[in-house]
Amino acid sequence: MIRNRVRRRLRAAVAAHRDELVGGAYLFGGGREAATVSFASLRDAVGGLIRSVREEGT
């Protein structure tokens, strides 16, 4: 059940940043902490990861 909650929360966090995604494949994973951290923190962390990947690719 925790795994499914983490998946749903990660999916929603990535969707919040869909405009920042460039073509390619992304793999996000999260541990048990992702089920209990605030959604705002999770969303911000995912956004930071997406931005860091974009910066590395340029």
Reply yes or no on whether the pLDDT at 56 is more than 80: no
What are the residue ranges spanned by the domains of the chain?
Answer: 2-57
pLDDT by residue (tens digit) across 26-55?
Answer: 888 899 999 999 999 999 999 999 999 877
Please report, for residues 2, 6, 13, 53, the alpha-carbon distance to residue 32 in angstroms, rounded to integers and kept in the order given: 7, 7, 16, 24
The DSSP secondary structure of the chain, one letter per residue, reads -HHHHHHHHHHHHHHTTGGG--SS-------THHHHS-HHHHHHHHHHHHHHHHHHH-
pTM of the predicted model, to two decimals? 0.83
